[in-house]
Amino acid sequence: MYSILTALVLLCSAPSAGTQDSDPQTPDPDPVAVAVLLEERCARCHEPNSGDEKAIKDWPDATDLNATLMIDLMVQPGDPEESDLFITCDEGDMPPEDEVEEPLDVAELALLARWIKDGASLPNPATLERRRAELKAAREGAAPPADTTLKRHFGAKTWLAFTGRLHMTLLHFPVALLVLAGLLSLRSSPPDRLLKSCLGAAAPFACLASISGWILASELTGDMDLHRWLGVACAALSVGALLATLKAWRVWRPLVLLTCVILIAAAHGGGDLVHGEDWLRLPT
């Protein structure tokens, strides 16, 4: 009888294998949780429609875990320390310092590391979609502001952000009018009424496009300094060209043509930012 009781005591007091291996500080490596984490924290830049060409080139789509696993060296199943995704997050390189997003916290890093160490398995698609729907419903139930991205950058001044979003509409007017003015400057001497009218309409639109573009660039990521300053130069030159034609200064024609050259450079730079640097290259 004594031996039976002793055996029962030993069995009850012995830790199970699962208890020995588990770490209460390390979250369970649920692939659905990892997929949601990457979407929530990384997809703002690493997503095909984000507009951040450099981010898309390095990691095209944070919402597609399967495609992420196919990127060379991005995730090395079983070894977080050799996985670029974990390394960049762990060392604080992502998100960049100039981003509003906070770095991954200790629990999030632990979840990511454990998921990679356990083989980096893919989530069940149905479970992932259900989790996305739950998160969306939770966000809508909280009644956030209509545009949280604008709020993040401009606080309550969402009208200022809306002005920046008008850039892609406003820029078409000075592009068309200044190109037409450049063509007219080649045939009219002194400047005629049509040329003056073109510049009179182009100059204010160029200024508005420059201001809205400057605001928009403050919301986006990437190196936009050259494009912004070319836009400012184009706006200033368009005003100068308008004054020169109205007063018939001798430099009116070179000023109009210089404005067109700066305009073309700014427009090409804008195409690079939106479509990528080789957007004019024909497919082979």
Domain contains 2: no
Domain contains 284: no
Does residue 165 sit in the same domain as residue 254?
yes
The domain boundary residue, chosen from 90, 110, 141: 141
- Picking from 129-138, 177-186, 190-199, which range would have the lowest pLDDT averaged per residue? 129-138
pLDDT at position 239, please?
Answer: 96
Integer-rounded Cα radius of gyration of the chain: 29
The predicted model gives 206-229 an average pLDDT of 84
pLDDT in tens, 158-171: 677 778 888 888 99
Place of tokens 């690079």: 272
The domain boundary residue, chosen from 141, 172, 207: 141
Does residue 87 sit in the same domain as residue 187?
no
Report how far apart, in Å, the C-alpha atoms of 171 and of each of 67, 164, 166, 272, 273 are: 36, 11, 9, 15, 15
Does residue 133 sit in the same domain as residue 44?
yes
Domain contains 220: yes
CA distance 83 to 69: 10
Domain contains 37: yes
CATH number at residue 187: 1.20.120.660
Q: How many CB atoms lie within 10 A of CB 217?
A: 19
- Picking from 13-17, 131-135, 212-216, which range would have the lowest pLDDT averaged per residue? 13-17
Domain contains 217: yes
Domain contains 222: yes
The domain boundary residue, chosen from 111, 141, 171: 141
pLDDT in tens, 44-88: 778 777 667 777 677 888 778 788 888 888 888 888 888 888 888
At 17, the pLDDT band (50, 70, 90 cuts) reads very low
Query: Helices 225-246 & 172-185, crossing angle to 10 degrees?
Result: 50
Does residue 162 sit in the same domain as residue 137?
no
Dihedral of CA atoms 221, 75, 124, 95 in degrees, nearest 10, equals -20
CA distance 241 to 249: 9
Does residue 166 sit in the same domain as residue 127?
no
From the number of C-beta atoms within 10 Å of its C-beta (0-12, 13-18, 19+), residue 222 rates as: middle
Hey, what amino acid is at 72?
D
Task: Pull the structure tokens for residue 222.
Answer: 């990437």
Higher pLDDT, 203 or 157: 203
At 11, the pLDDT band (50, 70, 90 cuts) reads very low
Higher pLDDT, 268 or 5: 268
Structural domain count of the chain:
2
The HSE-up count of residue 37 (CA atoms within 13 Å, CB side) is: 23
Q: Tell if the pTM clears 0.85, that is, is over it.
A: no
At 282, the pLDDT band (50, 70, 90 cuts) reads low
pLDDT for 130 beyond 90: no
- SS3 call for 68: helix
Straight-line distance from the first to the last Cα atom of the chain, in angstroms, rounded to the nearest whole number: 86
Domain membership of residue 61 as a residue range: 26-141
pLDDT at position 28, please?
Answer: 53
